[in-house]
Amino acid sequence: MPPRSDVHYFGAGPAPLPTSVLERASQALLSYKDSGVGLCEISHRSGDANQILADAKAAMTTLLDIPEDYEILFLQGGGSGEFSAVVYHMVSLWVEKRRIRAQEDLTVAIADGKTEGPLEQKVFQRLKQEVDEELKLDYLVTGSWSLKASQEAARLVGAPHVNVALDARTENDGQFGIIPPESTWKLTARTREGGPGSAMVYFCDNETVDGVEFPSFPESLQACPEDAVDDDAPMVIADMSSNFISRKVDVSKYSVIFGGAQKNVGNAGVTIVIVKKSLLPPTANLAKPDLLRKLNLPVGPIVFDWPTIAKNNSLYNTLPIFDVWIAGQVMADLVQTCGSKKIAGQQEVSDEKAKLLYGTLDRYPQVYRVVPHQSVRSRMNICFRVAGGDEQKEKAFLAGAEKRGLMGLKGHRSVGGIRASNYNAVTLDSAKLLAKYLEDFAQGV
């Protein structure tokens, strides 16, 4: 069995973890804080568990400069679970905003004699019409994961309520690999008179399968001008599962950021949600379950209910505290390593590794073809083909890589090819070894 130091793992997730964290974890599994009880055995209601949560939140807040008006939640269910959770929550918010506005308008109309009949019935009739005709969830589909998210939304609320504002495949011969200009996106219109437009705008910041990453926050999703109605501001939801804590992010531009931990943060089993407090009670009002059922809209499981999770400090049900501890250790180490640069320090390393690998691939265009367009190349998931996708040569490439201890390079089963995942725990030395192999293989073909 080769020593860990001889293996350089580029798997897409679960991904490598820092060896120092794993060494500490091995001790904590046997006896946490020399208590004689392992970390997987302590109560999630204990003081130790609460401290682990607090430490993880503090490290994340420091790294990303998370504003005070955001809540950090830890849940289970992975990114796929949050595909559903965001729909449940944002639809409920949209419905309640519309209900309140309808009630205010109709109360005045009845008082003025402009309409008559029971107020509650009138409100429901108008609300039902608005849900049927106007409820939309906008999705920017740039790869496999955003496609899955849009499909889950359609499954939950019905396809007519899902607006695929962008399907990148339509501009790229049916394949993912580009992000078309924002001028071509068909976002749900927001008007001063109409209140909220879409219930949310969702995008996946980095597509793990397809190697596509948004180079920056989309201009068209910026907050509305100061003279716009508050409710018109877009509710931006970003899935950052595979580029979380890899670059500087202006959290204030997002309503919600979520991600599974098993790429850059920790091991599979815990999902992180950063949500604006104004979207949670007591500030925000959510539609009651009975009303949602009457409107033929879904009511989500309580383990995906953000208000419930927030109210209980992420401990409504049994949270995998070991997984939170791992994530906290990874982030605490980054806080110490990056110092005053915070997450910008890690971004410098991530960018250097990506530049090294892409630069090597680009030097041998006769052997390698990077799949996504240069303008949207992911720093995290470097997807390419060997010899135009020749099956035998790609097998030879993978076999040769394994002989050098370069593991986990096979592309996703849905697209094939080669994928080198450049997550935080992949060291610069590992990236240099892969670059050297890319050089040697190209010269030997």
Residues 352 and 204 in one domain: no
pLDDT at 233: 66
CB 315 within 8 A of CB 57: no
Instruction: Tell whether 332 is covered by a domain.
Output: no
pLDDT at 196: 53
Q: Which of 322, 350, 372 is the last residue of a domain?
A: 322
Residue linked to tokens 């008007």: 191
Both tokens of residue 42?
A: 């302590």
Instruction: Tell whether 46 is covered by a domain.
Output: no
pLDDT at 213: 98
Instruction: Tell whether 428 is covered by a domain.
Output: yes
- 252 contacts: CB under 8 Å, gap ≥ 6: 67
Instruction: Tell whether 9 is covered by a domain.
Output: no
Residues 364 and 416 in one domain: yes
Beta bridge partners of 72: 274
Residue 152: phi, psi to the nearest 5?
A: -65, -40
- Print pLDDT tens along the chain (445 aa): 789 999 999 999 999 999 999 999 999 999 999 999 999 999 999 999 999 999 999 999 999 999 999 999 999 999 999 999 999 999 999 999 999 999 999 999 988 888 888 999 999 999 999 999 999 999 999 999 999 999 999 999 999 999 999 999 999 999 999 999 999 999 998 654 545 579 999 999 999 999 999 999 999 998 644 333 345 567 999 999 999 999 999 999 999 999 999 999 999 999 999 999 999 999 999 999 999 999 999 999 999 999 999 999 999 999 999 999 999 999 999 999 999 999 999 999 999 999 999 999 999 999 999 999 999 999 999 999 999 999 999 999 999 999 999 999 999 999 999 999 999 999 999 999 999 999 999 998 7
pLDDT at 184: 96
Question: Total domain count for the chain?
Answer: 2
Residues 316 and 346 in one domain: no
Instruction: Tell whether 401 is covered by a domain.
Output: yes
pLDDT at 33: 96
Residues 213 and 290 in one domain: yes
Residues 102 and 190 in one domain: yes
Q: Is 164 left (phi over 0), alpha (psi -120 to 50) or beta?
A: beta
Question: What's the pTM value of the predicted model, to 2 decimals?
Answer: 0.95
Residues 175 and 276 in one domain: yes
Q: Pick the closest to residue 437 from 417, 413, 409 (CA basis).
A: 409
Residues 291 and 178 in one domain: yes
Instruction: Tell whether 337 is covered by a domain.
Output: no
Q: Which of 292, 322, 352 is the last residue of a domain?
A: 322
Residues 113 and 249 in one domain: yes
Residues 260 and 352 in one domain: no
* Domain hosting residue 417, numbered range: 342-444
Instruction: Tell whether 49 is covered by a domain.
Output: no
CATH number at residue 347: 3.90.1150.10
Q: Which of 322, 353, 370 is the last residue of a domain?
A: 322
Residue type, 211: G
Beta bridge partners of 349: none
Burial per residue of 296-319, b for 16 or more beta-carbon CB atoms within 10 angstroms, e otherwise: ebbebeeebbbbebbeebbbeeeb
Residues 218 and 134 in one domain: yes
Both tokens of residue 177?
A: 């690999």
Residues 79 and 182 in one domain: yes
CATH number at residue 88: 3.40.640.10
Burial per residue of 322-346, b for 16 or more beta-carbon CB atoms within 10 angstroms, e otherwise: bbbbbbbbbbbbbbeebeeebbebb
Residues 175 and 240 in one domain: yes
Instruction: Tell whether 75 is covered by a domain.
Output: yes
